[in-house]
Amino acid sequence: MNIDADGQYNPLEIPKLIKPILDGKAEIVLGSRFAGTIEHMVPQKRYGNRLATFVVGIASGMKVSDAQTGFRAFSREAALRLVIHSGYTYTQETIVQAAHKRISMVEVPVEFRKRNGDGQSRLISNIINYAKNSAITLIRTYTSYNPLRTFTYLGGGIFLLGIALGSRVLIHFIETGMVTPYLPTALLASVLAIIGFQIIVIGLIGDISHQNRHIMEETLYRMRRIDKEILRDRDLDPVREVMALERRI
């Protein structure tokens, strides 16, 4: 269970978030402010949240109304499956990972209240830095799970632009046997085609790396499950351990 400590979320609504997990309807539950009630939110934060939610929706392929919410619940299985790499914010990365790992997720409307006291959010006190760091996290997460698609689209676009520019030079060369006066265009077309091809190759290498990452994350998941089962079997209750020690003494 995650809930921000600034008092803007109502802890009495925790059972509402846990219920879909207990009912077996979802592995992750997001408390949506925009589907619920908002007592106070400054315009720049409101628009920033909307924009971030829109981008996360595109990156994850899932329709969510509040990707930035700090009020969410995870099943034990989801917690074992997720591997957070960002040291800045987990909110966007968990949604993108959940989508690619096919972890079921639902939203429930929640109440969002005015912040207690006059304190400002340390996380988004500088909206520009927050937007920059969030964008970096989102891009890294998306490209790590879709490297081939990302770099093929990017590199393919640049490569085709180079081919389009080069076709004019090629036609002129076939007709006249000369490159001039299109030498600068020919050089630009060649550079673009080479760069585009190299980016596509990076995508292929990234796809191989993604397969290795998938294996490592699956291994980590299995190790976490084994650790959990060992702890459960040992029944590490501190009180029982102390009582057992006293009996030995």
- Give tens-digit pLDDT for 147-201: 999 999 999 999 999 999 999 899 989 989 888 888 999 999 999 999 999 999 9
Tell me which residue of 200, 203, 202 sits closest to 162, measured CA to CA. Answer: 200
* pLDDT higher than 60, residue 97: yes
* pLDDT band, very low/low/confident/very high, at 247 (cuts 50, 70, 90): low
Is the pLDDT at 127 greater than 70, yes or no?
no
Query: For 116, what's the count of Cα atoms within 13 Å in the CB-facing half-sphere?
Result: 7
Question: Comparing C-alpha atoms, which of 114, 123, 91 is closest to residue 7?
Answer: 114
Tokens linked to 194: 């080479």
pLDDT at 29: 97
- The 8-class DSSP code of residue 235 comes to T
Phi/psi zone of residue 148: left (φ > 0), alpha (ψ -120 to 50 degrees), beta? alpha
- Judge contact between 169 and 189, C-beta under 8 A: yes
Residues with Cβ within 8 Å of 173's Cβ and at least 6 positions away in sequence, in order, are: 179
Choose the most confident range, by mean pLDDT, from 16-30, 119-133, 142-156. Answer: 16-30
How many angstroms separate the Cα of 239 from the Cα of each of 236, 243, 246?
Answer: 9, 6, 11
The answer on pLDDT for 86 being more than 80 is no
